[in-house]
Structure 1
């Protein structure tokens, strides 16, 4: 187990690997997402019992991604050149078990991931592995209803057992589910959920969330039998919710908003549902399949660290419908008049990162880990073979400053920082390449036109210099704070 501070980058399989003729013979839910506003909407069965009856006529950016399946060797070399010492990526369930019901994994898929691990080991880069990053085999969606069906748990455990056993020698840090709370906002992406007009939407969402929480605990139980040195983290989309005003009604609205997200980390860290959960179920007519055995498993198999994504804070008001709203990570929030979004798609709040780090550590007293943060913007342009992105440098500099204050002034035990989309990738929220996060540019447009060449942006050189000056966690304070105690 490394104790140095982990500086790194993060990607996911569905947004980068591509699937056409790449040892991936079946589709996942993520592969179904079109490049338009439908990708974030609830998915209903049409009269023909199809999910998207226009699928064959749509453009699906994940068909190519950034062709990471073929470019991972050069991409990891670029990350080594950047100077990072950690890399988060996800394993594609569908690549290994195309329908989700096979007995044995696809060996070509296993060999692909082994190749990634070997490259990371060659450069002494710590892998952080997400086992489910907004992906489930489409067969399990159409046949069982995705994560709304308890049967999917055992199928998932068969997959995770294969992965953790196969790659035990390479991995210390595992994240079973990416942004588990997002199943309440983007349920098709988060859990492969499809609805009928008669469904109680919250019933299906919370039931699926429970099955994912249960699966999370069972993966931890499973993993600790495979290797006692494994460390497991919960992962939520985080960002403190501010009240729009000091009005107590607005303060309470902000509290309710935070509850909605933190319920999921509460269960994974504390091992039980919070006190208000029963009343939430009553108010929304939810009759969930939660057994006493389930509750015992949740209690006995909690996480070692709290990992999260942070892009911006949120804002709530009791009468928010009358106020201007703005987009954030997967949903809308009341627009904060004190924040700007001039450089990106979402409002930018560097201090909010420090506030969120304090919120999570004060609540859970577990080491925390920023596994996604970054600026998604459409402003990147290639000029004479270069990309000048001062807005991204400004974003990183401001967020690093607040992160460092959280560690050095507030005493937060922070494992590391992983920049989301360190290499440009297909955006989840928009399905486009033109919304770019990376310090490495990928020459592809929204319709997969381009050379697929990688170009280092100005922010690449700034980040590289920052890392060299900050010694990748050799500072004794960082080294001490980043340890996870047994």
Structure 2
């Protein structure tokens, strides 16, 4: 069996801006810890990633985000690049420990608030809409140490306090809010495998589910605050960002089809079913039993339809086969599945990018969008991250990275799949490329480059748009018909 042919599995052809409805938003995305730097400047407190990065062996190249790409000081330069490229929106995150250095909500840091006010104002001045994420993995370290972080029920209250301050101080201009980014990754990589901050692997049969549970409740608490106190006056929308690989059954055998559906329940259903259906998926309850926390009636009331939109981070797809044993760790044991790269005839599911988990499979995004629409009541969807990486090569010249034709083809394919899903009837409202700039890629440090814009780490962090940035500019301004000399001549 080879890859899908025709129908919902077909790869899209050429795509243009006119394939998308009026009002559809194209943007770029980053997160605070990955780009800001200035980790101790203007009163910012430590985050769990600031501490995690200090421990030898946690970051592949031994690096940290103390400076990152210095967006804290160079935000105007980056905003001007976004505007010049023609993007309409910028998705960025707020550093919780820049607003509340101790995480406990005792005293808001006015200098941190001032930075985000300046960023938001400059975006709007340049005609770019801010899409703001409240939590992108950088929990205040003091909240982790003193209160237990995502393992404590208290974090729900602290997150709601933090969210309310952000709504109060920024909500007159910010109309698109995201509560939490990829709670799945925090739960598994942070509290089971331990490869992300806070690096816990103490109780992998319990802590991932507890940390996920309180992330879900924190999301609901923030949505409740927004809807009760701010939505009527400010008129914004608020959602949650989940991440998911499309799970394609490895064969037509029933056990592989069931395993693929089970895989989707353990990725998406874990976080969306409580919001749309009041509890975790039945297969998770059946397999995890006492390891999975219970929702109270009050929890269910707060969670009921607690999203205005679903944010989807999607990079790749996998073939899924039934497997009674796994070597991937406790969180995968209950799933009884294996992720497979090659079809039965040996053909790979797609070309590989730099990361060993990232294969280029555009048709998977269309299938995933249709699945989400059908299962979750045709709720509006934003693609909040999509992109691919190149390997950092120490001896390579910048020019070798600037001609990133594989990334251009990646974006053509995936954006084409979004257009196909819209024609299928899926309510997709926007698309955000990951990432605006090369940056600190978490445990991979600076060994991977996801950016549309090349960062020259050796020469003053200068910015250089890659071919993919120029392709986007042409796509957005000219439907890809001609070169954009203005952008091509950017520094």
What is the TM-score when the length of structure 2 is the normalising length? Answer: 0.82
Aligned runs of 1:386-401 on 2, under 5 Å?
387-401=402-416
Distance 2:428 2:226 in 1: 23
**In 2, are the aligned partners of 1:164 and 1:226 still within 8 Å (CA)?**
yes
Q: Which moved more, 1:21-30 or 1:361-370?
A: 21-30
Name the structure 1 match of 2:298. Answer: 293
| 2:466 counterpart of 1:457 | yes
- The corresponding residue for 2:236 is 230
Report the CA distance shift for 1:336/1:269 in structure 2 as closer, same or farther (over 3 A): farther
Displacement, 1:430? 1.2
Matches within 5 A, 1:52-67: 59-67=62-70
Cα deviation for residue 289 of structure 1 reads 5.6
Structure 1: runs of 5 or more not aligned: 42-57, 325-331, 472-486
Change (3 A) 1:31 1:350: same
* Unaligned ranges ≥5, structure 2: 1-20, 329-337, 481-491
1:138 and 2:141 correspond: yes
Partner Cα separation in structure 2 for residue 358 and residue 384 of structure 1: 39
1:468 to 2:480 alignment: no
Q: CA deviation at 1:309?
A: 0.5
- Cα displacement (A) at 1:90: 0.3
In 1, are the aligned partners of 2:403 and 2:467 still within 8 Å (CA)?
yes
Q: CA deviation at 1:470?
A: 4.3
Q: What is aligned with 2:455?
A: 442
Partner SS state of residue 38, structure 2: coil
2:282 paired residue number? 275
Structure 2: how far apart are the matches of 1:15 and 1:379?
16
Residue aligned with 1:79, SS: helix
Take 1:191 and 1:394, find their aligned partners in 2: how far apart are those partners? 30
How far 1:323 sits from its partner (Å)? 11
Segments ≥4 residues shifted beyond 4 Å: 35-41, 188-197, 320-324, 383-386
Of 160, 171, 176, which residue of structure 2 is paired with 1:173? 176
Deviation string 1:74-98 (CA, Å, 9 cap, x unpaired) is 1000000000001100000011111
Counting only pairs closer than 5 Å after superposition, residues 356-395 of structure 1 correspond to structure 2 as 356-364=368-376, 365-378=378-391, 381-383=396-398, 387-395=402-410
Task: Give the SS at the match of 1:396.
Answer: helix
SS at match of 2:205: helix
Distance 1:287 1:391 in 2: 41
1:477 is aligned to none
Q: Contact 1:386 / 1:456 at 8 angstroms: preserved in 2?
A: no
SS of structure 2 residue aligned to 1:101 = coil
- What residue number does 1:17 align with? 36
Give the alignment partner of residue 127 of structure 1, picking from 111, 114, 130. Answer: 130
Stretch of structure 1 that moved more, 147-156 or 290-299: 290-299
Measured after TM superposition, the shift of residue 213 of structure 1 is 0.9
* 1:315 maps to 2:300: no
Q: State how far apart, in whole Å, the 2-side matches of 1:171 and 1:95 are.
A: 18
- State the Cα RMSD in Å: 3.0
8 Å contact 2:242–2:313 — kept in the other structure?
Answer: yes
SS of the residue corresponding to residue 202 of structure 1 reads coil
Measure, in 1, the Cα distance between the counterparts of 2:197 and 2:318.
26
Residue 482 of structure 1 corresponds to none
CA pair 281-86 structure 1, distance change in 2 beyond 3 A: same
User: Take 2:351 and 2:55, find their aligned partners in 1: how far apart are those partners?
Assistant: 22
Q: CA–CA distance in 1 between the matches of 2:77 and 2:405?
A: 25
What displacement does 1:35 show?
9.0
The alignment's TM-score, normalised by the length of structure 1, stands at: 0.83
Contact 1:134 1:190 in 2 (8 A): no
Report the Cα offset of residue 138 of structure 1.
Answer: 0.7
SS of match in other structure, 2:37: coil
SS of residue paired to 2:172: coil
- Range with greater deviation from structure 2 (266-275 or 119-128): 266-275
SS in 2 for 1:416: strand
Once residues 258 and 429 of structure 2 are traced to their aligned partners in structure 1, the CA distance between those partners, rounded to angstroms, is: 32
Of 354, 363, 367, the residue aligned with 1:355 is 367
Alpha-carbon distance in structure 1 between the residues aligned to 2:384 and 2:420: 18
CA deviation map 1:172-201 (0-9, x unaligned): 11110001222332125899656575x3x2
1:369 and 1:115 map into 2 onto residues whose CA distance is 25
